[in-house]
Chains A and B, each alone.
Chain A
Amino acid sequence: MRHPSLIVLIALAAASAMPPPAARALDDLSKYPDLKGQWQRIGPNRWESRENKAPLTPEYRAVYQDNLDRMEAGGVGDMASWYCLPQGMPMMMSLYDPMEVVVTPQVTYVLISHVNDSYRRIYTDGRDWPAEGEYERTFAGYSIGRWLDENGDGRYNVLEVETRDFKGPRVYDGTGLPLHHDNQTIVKERIHLDKSDPNILYNDLTVIDNALTRPWSITKKAGRVPNPRPMWQTAVCAENNSMVRIGKHAYYMSQEGYLMPLKKDQPPPDLRFFKPSPK
C-alpha cells in the first residue's frame, strides 16, 4: 500500500458527502411519485358491481344473504364500524373519507380519518414478514411494500403491497359483504398514478380469502383535491354515534337521550342487575 493517507482522504471525502441517515431519508424522495395532497374517492364504495360479483363460496353467499335479510328487517348488519370498530383492510381503501399518503423511503403511511383516525403503515425497507411475537394482528393488517420502476427511467411509479395478519370482524362494505371469519385474508395492491393525469390515483386490489372460490380483483380510483392546503376533518365515532350496543343487541339513542328500539317489537334490554323500582 503506497499511500495509506490517500485512502483515508478518499474515505473522508466519501463520508463527508453522505448525509446522516435521517437526512438521507428525506433526500431520496426525488425517486418517488408525488402522492402529496388530499385524495377523495371516485366511484362507488360498494365492492360488488353487476359486472364483477364477488366469487363467494356457497357458505359465504348464504352468510351474505342472511345479513342482507337482517338489514332489510331493520337490523344494523355485520358492519362493525357502526359500533366504532375500524373498517380495516380492504374496506378502508374505499375512502369513505379523504386519504393522505405520506411517502418516506422506509415506510409509506396511509392516513384516513373515518370512524376514527386510522392509518396503515406500509414497510418499504426491504424487511421480510415478521416472526410470531414480532407483530400483533390488527384490522389494518401488516403491510410490506415494494417500489417498482416499471418504466426504467430511474423513478418509481408503482407501489406493490401485500397485507396479511388481520383480525376481525371485517367486511368489504356497508352491505356486509363478508370476508372469512378465519381472518386469513391476503390483500395485494398495486398503487399508481394515472399515466396521463397525475391527479388520479389507482389502487388495483386483489383479495385472497377463504370465503372466495378464487382471488377477486377490483380497482379503486381516487382524485387529488386541487387545494394544496386542504381541510382535514377528524372523525370521532364516539362523539355522535346514536347506536348503542348492549351485549349482542343494538339500540338507538333518541335525541333526548332515551334508549329506543332499532326495529319493530324489539324487546328492551335485560335489566336483571338493577334493583326493581318501588311501586
Chain B
Amino acid sequence: MVCNRSSLGAVALAATMSMALAPARAADEPRYPDLNGQWSRAHAHSQWDPSKPRGLAQQAPLTPEYQAIFAANLASLHAGNLGSDPQVYCLPSGMPRMMIAYEPMEVIVTPETTYIRVDHLNEFRRIYTDGRGWPAEIKPTFDGYSIGRWIDRRGNGRYDLLQVETRGMKGPRTLDADGLPLHKDNRTVVKERIQLDSANRDLLHDEITTTDDAFTRPWTVTRDYNREPHPLWPEFLCTEANNHIPIGKEFYFRSSDGYLMPAYKDQPPPDLRNFTPSR
C-alpha cells in the first residue's frame, strides 16, 4: 500500500462529496435506457415485414378467408381504387401498424409509463409499467391498452428490454397500406420486445409479434429505428391536406380549386336528395 493516510482521507472525502453532490434518487430510477430523442424508421419502405417485399410476397400467415380478402384488396388497388386503408380518411394506424413510424417517433420514459408518440396521424401510446394488471373492462381504442415490464437481462442493475403486451384494439385497422388485413373481430394481441442495439445506442429495435384471428399462427417481424441527431418536429395533419372526401360509402376527390371530383372512372355523383332542386 503506497497511499499515505492523508491521501486515503482525501479519497474518502472526495467520495463523500460526490455522493452528497449526486441528486437524491428513487431506488429504481437510474435504471432506464436512454431512449430520448427522435426516432425515424430505418427501413426505406413501409410494408409490414421490412425483410420481405410488399403485397403477397409478405407471406403473411393469413387464413384462407383473410388471404382472399387481402387478394381482393390488392386487385382493387391495382384497378385504381382506394382499397381498405383507413388512413385514406384520416383514421389512425392503430396498433401494431403505428410502429411502422411513417413519420418520426418519440419515446418518453418515466418509471410508471412509457409514452410513444408518432407524428403521423398524431398518435400516442401509453405503455403502463407501474405493475398494474389488465383492467376488468377496456374501452377499445385504435392504439389499444398496453402493459409493459422492464427487464434487466444482464443483471447489472440497468434495464435493457421493455416487454409490452397490447390488447383492447378497435378497427378498422390494417397492417400496412396494401391493406394487409387484421381480423374484423379486433381481438388482436400484440407483444413487443423494445431494446437498443447492443453495439449502436442510436439504433432501436422493436420485435413485434401479432396474434390475430386472421392468422394461422403468431407473426413476428422486427422493425428498426435510427436516432436523429438534430430533430425537427413538424406537425403532420391528415385533414389539412387530405383531398379524399368520404360521402356515405363512396369516396370522392376534392380538386385543387375546391370542386368535388370522381375518384374513379364513371363514378356517379353523390345523391343530393336532401337539397332543394334548383329552379
* Chain A residues within CB distance 8 Å of chain B: 3, 5-6, 9-10, 13-14, 16-31, 36, 83-86, 102, 104, 106-107, 109, 111, 116-119, 121, 134-136, 138-140, 229, 231-234, 236-239, 244-248, 253-254, 256-261, 265-275, 277
26 residue pairs A–B, Cβ–Cβ below 8 Å = A13-B11, A13-B15, A17-B15, A17-B19, A17-B21, A23-B29, A26-B29, A26-B32, A36-B112, A86-B122, A119-B122, A136-B235, A139-B235, A229-B132, A234-B141, A234-B142, A238-B89, A238-B239, A247-B254, A253-B247, A257-B249, A269-B270, A270-B259, A273-B255, A274-B269, A277-B268
Q: Is B218 an interface residue (CB 8 A)?
A: no
Chain B, residue nearest A106 (CB): B36
Q: Smallest CB–CB gap between A3 and chain B, Å?
A: 6
Q: Smallest CB–CB gap between B138 and chain A, Å?
A: 9
**Residue from A27, A102, A106 within 8 A of B23 (CB atoms):** A27
Q: Is B153 an interface residue (CB 8 A)?
A: no
**Residue from A22, A86, A233 within 8 A of B34 (CB atoms):** A22
Q: Contacts A104-B110, A234-B142, A247-B258 given: A30-B274 contact, CB under 8 Å?
A: no
Q: Smallest CB–CB gap between A116 and chain B, Å?
A: 5
**Residue from A24, A116, A244 within 8 A of B122 (CB atoms):** A116
In the bound complex, do residue B238 and residue A119 qualify as a contact, i.e. CB atoms below 8 Å apart?
no
Q: How far is the CA of A229 from the CA of B122 in the complex (A)?
A: 23
Chain A, residue nearest B254 (CB): A246
In the bound complex, do residue A86 and residue B10 qualify as a contact, i.e. CB atoms below 8 Å apart?
no
Q: How far is the CA of A260 from the CA of B142 in the complex (A)?
A: 29
Q: Could you list 11 further interchain pairs (A-B, Cβ under 8 angstroms) beyond the known A30-B24, A84-B90, A139-B235?
A: A10-B11, A10-B14, A16-B18, A22-B36, A24-B30, A117-B92, A119-B124, A135-B232, A138-B235, A239-B91, A267-B278
Cross-chain pair count, CB within 8 angstroms: 208
Q: Smallest CB–CB gap between B146 and chain A, Å?
A: 11
In the bound complex, do residue B247 and residue A109 qualify as a contact, i.e. CB atoms below 8 Å apart?
no
> Please, which residues of chain B bring their CB within 8 A of the CB of A83?
239
**Residue from A16, A21, A26 within 8 A of B111 (CB atoms):** A26
> Please, which residues of chain B bring their CB within 8 A of the CB of A6?
3, 7, 10-11
Q: How far is the CA of A3 from the CA of B7 in the complex (A)?
A: 8
Q: Contacts A3-B7, A9-B14, A24-B23 given: A272-B117 contact, CB under 8 Å?
A: no
> Please, which residues of chain A bring their CB within 8 A of the CB of B123?
117
In the bound complex, do residue B126 and residue A232 qualify as a contact, i.e. CB atoms below 8 Å apart?
yes
Annotate B111-138 by CB proximity to A: 1 below 8 A, 0 otherwise.
1110101000111101010101000000
In the bound complex, do residue A270 and residue B25 qualify as a contact, i.e. CB atoms below 8 Å apart?
no
Q: Smallest CB–CB gap between A54 and chain B, Å?
A: 26
Q: Smallest CB–CB gap between A130 and chain B, Å?
A: 9
Q: How far is the CA of A3 from the CA of B11 in the complex (A)?
A: 11
Q: How far is the CA of A273 from the CA of B11 in the complex (A)?
A: 84
**Residue from A19, A84, A269, A272 within 8 A of B30 (CB atoms):** A19
> Please, which residues of chain B bring their CB within 8 A of the CB of A19?
22, 25, 30
B1-42 with Cβ < 8 A to chain A: 3, 7, 10-11, 14-15, 17-19, 21-26, 29-36
Q: How far is the CA of A135 from the CA of B108 in the complex (A)?
A: 21
In the bound complex, do residue B259 and residue A247 qualify as a contact, i.e. CB atoms below 8 Å apart?
yes
In the bound complex, do residue A9 and residue B11 qualify as a contact, i.e. CB atoms below 8 Å apart?
yes
**Residue from A25, A27, A236 within 8 A of B142 (CB atoms):** A236
Q: Contacts A10-B10, A259-B272 given: A273-B235 contact, CB under 8 Å?
A: no
Q: Smallest CB–CB gap between A265 and chain B, Å?
A: 7
In the bound complex, do residue B274 and residue A22 qualify as a contact, i.e. CB atoms below 8 Å apart?
no
A-B residue pairs, 6 tightest by C-beta: A247-B258, A257-B248, A22-B34, A23-B30, A238-B90, A17-B18
Q: Is B276 an interface residue (CB 8 A)?
A: yes
Annotate B81-122 by CB proximity to A: 1 below 8 A, 0 otherwise.
000000001111000000000000000111111010100011
